Amino acid sequence: MSIKFYNTLTKRKDEFQSITKGEVKLYTCGPTVYDTAHIGNFRTFLFEDLLKRFLLLKGYKVTHVMNITDVDDKTILRSNSDNISIHDLTEKYIGLFFNDIQTLKIIPADYYPKATEHVPEMINMIKKLIDNGYAYKSDDNSIYFNIEKFGKYGKLANLNLAEQKKTQRIATDDYSKDSPQDFVLWKAWKKEDGKVFWESPWGKGRPGWHIECSAMSNKYLGDNFDIHCGGVDNIFPHHENEIAQSECANNKQFVNYWLHSEHLLVDGGKMSKSAGNFYKISDLIDMGFTPEALRYLLLSGHYRTNINFSVDKKHEALKVVQRINDFYERLLDLSAKCDKTGALPEAYNLFEKALDDDLNTPEALAVFFEWLRKTNAQIDDNSLKDKDIISAINFIEKFNSVFDLIAKKSDVPSKITELVKEREEAREVKDWAKADLIRDQILEMGWIIEDAADGFKIKPILEK
Ligand code: AMP
Ligand code: ZN
């Protein structure tokens, strides 16, 4: 069965063919590190993780690059207002970003190039654009891309240039999304930039945001590569401008497949600090969400539909994840006493087919849960044969290589392990009141201790 992805460039589901057999080159736009990434950013990063895990499941070798935007208008503004160097500011948020990546079990990219470490590559690309007649210098020594020179400008975002007014130039990174204008490639130094500048053939200044992804993807993946992703807000102007820069500098099609994930809404709307629903991953973990519950909530909706996040969904998500984990443990217990060979159950083909069809995760999960329900019933009435037990384990492990919803024992948060230790100490000195109090505290945080004759288990569940 062939793989199909909805390609923003062609506006239809295209059959996927990699440029080199068995290998995929993937570029995903990374975070702008002036603040902590939020749950919305992680919807996109988790979609990209799912795409990569799916390609690995299909046997591809994947080379994945994610840039880190560590210089732009926002980072400079923030470093000025917080009165710290741009380097210290961005290092802090890069550290937090990698913590969150690890928490959510996102497979790390092969390269995380930083914009500040690739300025010479960007200068070279701008030089090429000037030499090829696509870029010009303005009075203040900034360099702009002339969109009129590139006939295909607008092909990704479906813009009709003839109907647009295109007289203005845009110098900032953060500008209105509906009117195409000449955009900045190199920004001449201004007083507000302080110590943030690089020398260039056009005087001191710094690169614009778009050129960083064109230059860095080129360095690590070449002139033409397979897949480029981001959230839908990246389509215009960012990705449209990347295409213009790369294709005019290299005279080649830039990317074959463009995949974009829809936005995450929170409580039905845009997240906002004033509404108190602007969530970071660490906030949600403190509220008792497990990494698996967050993965489930963010991956169970199709990537091309809006999904609505709400903390009210915690209970339900924890329960679903618990069900999968209990089922897996049950199978492992049964497998201890049977022969280790077995194929894959029939349901697996349907599961893979759903993912082949533009990563249809809701359908893949529906197939998986239906199979889980039936298999559980077979275990209940002792009708599951030895070879079926092994093939069931094979399925759940393949399932998990894509969704990663099985919690390792060590995934219990350190705060919970500390409380469990305190509770044990209280029990040893027979301080039952204190032990009960700690147990309640653990419950409040969404975890339960199940005492047994030979010890205890800690489970992420809210049921009291
Ligand atoms: P930024 O750090 O703003 O450059 O964003 C990093 C990534 O997160 C980009 O691919 C954005 O498209 C994506 N993104 C930003 N906000 C949301 C959201 N609410 N839902 C989904 N993706 C988002
Ligand atoms: Zn980018």
- What is the tens place of the pLDDT at every residue in 60-80? 999 999 999 999 999 999 999
Q: Which residue do the tokens 């990494």 mark?
A: 291
- What is the tens place of the pLDDT at every residue in 104-120? 999 999 999 999 999 99
pLDDT confidence of 179, banded at 50, 70, 90?
low
Residue 181 has pLDDT above 90, yes or no: no
Give the pLDDT of residue 358.
98
Nearest CA owner, ligand 1 atom 12 = 231
Give the pLDDT of residue 251.
96
Residue 59 has pLDDT above 90, yes or no: yes
Which of ligand 1's atoms lies nearest the C-alpha of 262? 21
What is the arithmetic mean of pLDDT over 206-210? 96
Q: Peptide bond preceding 237: is omega within 30 degrees of 0, i.e. cis?
A: yes
Alpha helix locations (H) across 256-360?
281-286, 291-299, 314-335, 346-356
**Residue-averaged pLDDT of the chain:** 92
Q: Choose one of 26, 29, 36, 41 to mutate for the ligand 1 pocket test, by most ligand atoms within 8 angstroms of C-beta.
A: 41
Which of ligand 1's atoms lies nearest the C-alpha of 43? 21
Which of ligand 1's atoms lies nearest the C-alpha of 37? 2
Determine whether 432 is exposed, middle or buried from the number of CB atoms within 10 Å of its CB (0-12, 13-18, 19+).
exposed
Please tell me the number of the ligand nearest to residue 229's CA.
Answer: 1
Which of ligand 1's atoms lies nearest the C-alpha of 69? 4
Structure-token pair, residue 93? 């948020």
SS3 206: strand
Which of ligand 1's atoms lies nearest the C-alpha of 32? 2
67 C-alpha to ligand 1 centroid (Å): 13
Q: Choose one of 33, 36, 43, 44 to mutate for the ligand 1 pocket test, by most ligand atoms within 8 angstroms of C-beta.
A: 44
Give the pLDDT of residue 338.
80
Nearest CA owner, ligand 1 atom 14 = 41
386 C-alpha to ligand 2 centroid (Å): 50
DSSP state of 238: I
What is the arithmetic mean of pLDDT over 180-200? 93
Residue 238 has pLDDT above 50, yes or no: yes
44 C-alpha to ligand 1 centroid (Å): 6
335 C-alpha to ligand 1 centroid (Å): 43
- What is the tens place of the pLDDT at every residue in 402-452? 999 999 866 677 788 888 889 989 998 999 999 999 988 888 887 888 776
DSSP state of 267: T
pLDDT confidence of 245, banded at 50, 70, 90?
very high
236 C-alpha to ligand 1 centroid (Å): 13
Q: Which residues contact 42 (CB under 8 A, 6 or more apart)?
A: 100, 104, 281, 294, 298
Amino acid at 187: K
Give the pLDDT of residue 421.
87
Neighbours of ion ligand 2 (CB under 5 A): 29, 213
Please tell me the number of the ligand nearest to residue 216's CA.
Answer: 2
- What is the tens place of the pLDDT at every residue in 305-320? 999 999 999 999 999 9
Give the pLDDT of residue 458.
79
Which of ligand 1's atoms lies nearest the C-alpha of 264? 20
Structure-token pair, residue 306? 């809006």
Record the pTM: 0.89
What is the arithmetic mean of pLDDT over 25-50? 97
Which of ligand 1's atoms lies nearest the C-alpha of 230? 10
Residue 463 has pLDDT above 50, yes or no: no
Please tell me the number of the ligand nearest to residue 237's CA.
Answer: 2
DSSP per-residue letters across 96-114 = HHHHHHHHTTPPPPSB--B
Determine whether 421 is exposed, middle or buried from the number of CB atoms within 10 Å of its CB (0-12, 13-18, 19+).
exposed
* Distances in whole angstroms, Cα of residue 416 to Cα of each of 63, 217, 445: 36, 41, 8
Q: Which residues contact 284 (CB under 8 A, 6 or more apart)?
A: 39, 294, 311
- What is the tens place of the pLDDT at every residue in 372-397? 999 999 999 999 998 899 999 999 99
Residue 177 has pLDDT above 80, yes or no: no
Alpha helix locations (H) across 132-278?
209-221, 240-250
Percent of the chain predicted with pLDDT > 70? 94
- Which protein residues are within 6 Å of ligand 1, measured from CB? 29, 31-32, 40-41, 43-44, 230-231, 233-234, 263-264
Determine whether 142 is exposed, middle or buried from the number of CB atoms within 10 Å of its CB (0-12, 13-18, 19+).
buried
29 C-alpha to ligand 2 centroid (Å): 4
